[in-house]
Structure 1
């Protein structure tokens, strides 16, 4: 009996949401169909990755984003200079709203690339993802009764160390949901909580995602979460185990109907594998050139508008 392709569970989830999801008005005003409380599981042994094949996923773009998170950077300029476009809409929308200058998105992004001072003023997303991952803010109570900033906490570095020193711990967690700073973020973290678990020499990872755009976002989220597990395993001399993905509000946008119909008509193809070509000194020292994907021959790309 043939084993079901790893991607089938993703397609089944998409079909279930589109056919059975609760139709609702959402923050963006576009509308979604939504289900709540979903789970996908992927075995990462032997280089396997949950790379979607029923459309082309630009895994290098997703990898560059993850590496950007690990720097703690929150300004889009380093991404823009690498041709990564996935965060451009949020600062552009803020710029138009606050200045009244109805500049085209492409022109705004070009200015971010060319004008460092403009990028400092308008390219920052607030304390999103990477800031919380590697520099979670702390505060000290002073003798005069006031608080002052303390040294930030590098959650990622602490988890790497705890995996090495105390693999049986139940506290291998990286958290992005800093309640005190949500209102300063361009977008509160969707992929918010990562937990790691060691069993039989294998490193398992779990991602809880509070909100998930299944058509556009989830293929990137699965790749990035699996890549983080692979990098953690690489740094801690563990074999890759299983990625468990859990979704809260798991949805499809109503204006993605054409993409959904086309993707559900396609059959998964192939078993792509990730090879990590170099082991750098720390998890913060990987570069895009350190990763190679083999046997990835997907169907063509599918495009749909991003809801901001």
Structure 2
């Protein structure tokens, strides 16, 4: 059987060979295709944490746990040494103040100064706010995650087990509109929970590995909370692209041979979805190739 990671590597090679060269929002430019899919069977505990470069899986899971809090400020992330959201508020700070502050200095201010963090660490109503506190026209907040878990427990054959973050009324207030927008779930008769993640825009070299790791961690948490076991993780990408300053890195990665995928497991069963911590996750057998560095396009 062909290694599952070749789904990712073949997609990257396809974009390098046939991608449409486009000028994008960031000004960096991309090679892009429209429409892609990958499927991974999680039933034996294997998870699609890429092995052809090191993926910092704890960072991805910490981000997912932060989403679940409903938070929209980067201060808690930085206190956990998660720096993947800093670029957007830092760019805004530099633009509005005219100060060329370093990223390290900016992050120190966010961590140490609550007033500064409240003003400059906000991302707007991004993922977690929409997942946990979607604001209806009547002023009521809707917790999509709590509703999903209730349906998984009480009506597991429902075709309405999903949540999303594309709140049209609040898109213009977000530092970055949601890329991994829709998560839908399917429970088979034998009690296996599968997830289909639809991603409208995917930075294939930097973003996909984090998106997949976080989504699978969430799938394990949801399955545990509902008394189910993991089934398949299915990813559907719409505009899937490589930034033009990532092409050499992509070629380096596709030249590598995948190693065995690691296994992820939960070390305890918390009372609610809100009680998970990074210490509850174990990843076994992860032996990746070295990391490959690349710049984020903002």
> TM-score band (shorter)?
over 0.9
Residues 1:218 and 2:208 aligned together: yes
For 1:149-203, what per-residue CA distance to the aligned partner results, in whole angstroms no more than 9, with x for missing partners? x231000010000011001100001111000000000000000000001112110
Cα displacement (A) at 1:107? 1.0
Please report the TM-score for the alignment, with normalisation by the length of structure 2: 0.98
For 2:220, what is the secondary structure of its paired residue? helix
Aligned length in residues: 297
Q: Please show how residues 100-115 of structure 1 align to structure 2 within 5 Å.
A: 100-115=98-113
**Residues 50, 261 of structure 2: 8 Å contact kept:** no
For 2:135, what is the secondary structure of its paired residue? coil
Residues 1:20 and 2:10 aligned together: no
* Residue aligning to 1:8: 6
* Residue aligning to 1:52: 50
* Residue aligning to 1:276: 266
Bigger Rg, structure 1 or 2: 1
Q: Please show how residues 59-208 of structure 1 align to structure 2 within 5 Å.
A: 59-140=57-138, 150-200=139-189, 201-208=191-198
For 1:50-91, what per-residue CA distance to the aligned partner results, in whole angstroms no more than 9, with x for missing partners? 110000000000000000000000000000011101000000
Residues 1:250 and 2:250 aligned together: no
Q: In 1, distance between residues paired with 2:264 and 2:28?
A: 36
Cα displacement (A) at 1:111? 0.8
Q: Unmatched 5+ residue regions in structure 2?
A: none
Q: In 2, distance between residues paired with 1:103 and 1:67?
A: 29
Q: Which runs of 4+ in 1 moved over 2 A?
A: none
* Residue aligning to 1:228: 218
Q: Alpha carbon RMSD of aligned pairs, Å?
A: 0.7
For 1:79-117, what per-residue CA distance to the aligned partner results, in whole angstroms no more than 9, with x for missing partners? 001110100000000111111112112111111111111
For 1:11-32, what per-residue CA distance to the aligned partner results, in whole angstroms no more than 9, with x for missing partners? 0001001110000100000000
Deviates more, 1:210-219 or 1:250-259: 250-259
Q: In 2, distance between residues paired with 1:6 and 1:134?
A: 33
Q: In 2, distance between residues paired with 1:118 and 1:196?
A: 39
For 1:221-273, what per-residue CA distance to the aligned partner results, in whole angstroms no more than 9, with x for missing partners? 11111111111111111110001100010000010122111101100001310
Residues 1:259 and 2:249 aligned together: yes
Q: In 2, distance between residues paired with 1:110 and 1:8?
A: 40
Q: Unmatched 5+ residue regions in structure 1?
A: 141-149
Cα displacement (A) at 1:128? 0.1
Cα displacement (A) at 1:139? 2.9
